[in-house]
Chain A
Amino acid sequence: EVQLVESGGGLVQPGGSLRLSCAASGFTFNTYDMHWVRQAPGKGLEWVSAIGTAADTYYLGSVKGRFTISRENAKNSMYLQMNSLRAGDTAVYYCARVSTGYYFYMDVWGKGTTVTVSS
């Protein structure tokens, strides 16, 4: 079964750090681009970051310099290191797999992990 499972969320004070993980199974992880998408409470989906198969990385402007995306293909895992966290980073964070074909779409999503930034 193709599956993504996020972990690492929690409650953190403003200025603190968290490392999110996304464990993949059921597919050849190293052949897919992977993304993080977040959803603040009561709000819509917001793209956060992406990492390509060549480990090329991309970031939402508001997280650039604070968040670092990485992948470890040997462990079928992707990570999001989040530093200098702000209240505005409070959200459910989803990892998502992106199709390898001509069209762009996120065909597999994890259930999400919740990050709460509060004092």
Chain B
Amino acid sequence: SSELTQDPAVSVALGQTVKITCQGDSLRNYYASWYQQKPGQAPILVIYGKNNRPSGIPDRFSGSRSGNTASLTITGAQAEDEADYYCNSRDTNGNPVVFGGGTKLTVL
């Protein structure tokens, strides 16, 4: 089955911009969706499709795609953005759904 690859950890200074990436063959055909998960909590959807935010998600969160790489950008990171972030997408090679391994974001 296909895989989605994410950097295990990323850090950003408070108020600065950070990009979290997700790489995989499935992303050439499907948009990624992005989820934020804080310790002890269920994931929540933050970005889906070309660059769409669910209601209640701050506009500092944005998404993009280039080739086989999807990116989640946080412009002006806040302390409350410190969390694990996961990408996922449909897949046509094996399992119908695939998740990235997750990126732990630290806000300094």
Residues of A within 8 A of B (CB): 35, 37, 44-47, 50, 58, 60-61, 94, 99, 102-107, 109-112
Contacts and interface: CB of A to CB of B under 8 A. Distances in A.
B49 A45 contact: no
Given A45-B35, A45-B86, A109-B42, A104 B30 contact: yes
Given A44-B84, A47-B96, 7 more contacts: A37-B99, A46-B99, A105-B33, A107-B45, A107-B48, A111-B41, A111-B42
B96 A106 contact: no
B54 A107 contact: yes
18 contacts: A44-B86, A45-B99, A47-B96, A60-B95, A61-B94, A99-B48, A103-B31, A103-B33, A103-B48, A103-B50, A104-B30, A104-B33, A105-B45, A106-B45, A106-B88, A107-B45, A107-B54, A109-B44
A102 B86 contact: no
Contact of B43 (A45, A46, A102): A45
A48 to B, nearest CB: 9
The range of chain B's interface size is 20 to 34
Interface string B23-51: 00000001101010100011111001110
B10 interface: no
B48 A105 contact: yes
A92 to B, nearest CB: 9
A7 B69 CA distance: 36
Contacts, number: 67
Contacts of A112: 42
B49 A50 contact: no
Contacts of B54: 107
B62 interface: no
Contacts of A45: 35, 37, 43, 86, 88, 99, 102
B49 A44 contact: no
Contacts of A94: 42-43
A58 to B, nearest CB: 5
| Closest 8 A/B residue pairs (Cβ) | A105-B33, A105-B48, A103-B49, A44-B102, A47-B97, A109-B42, A45-B99, A104-B90
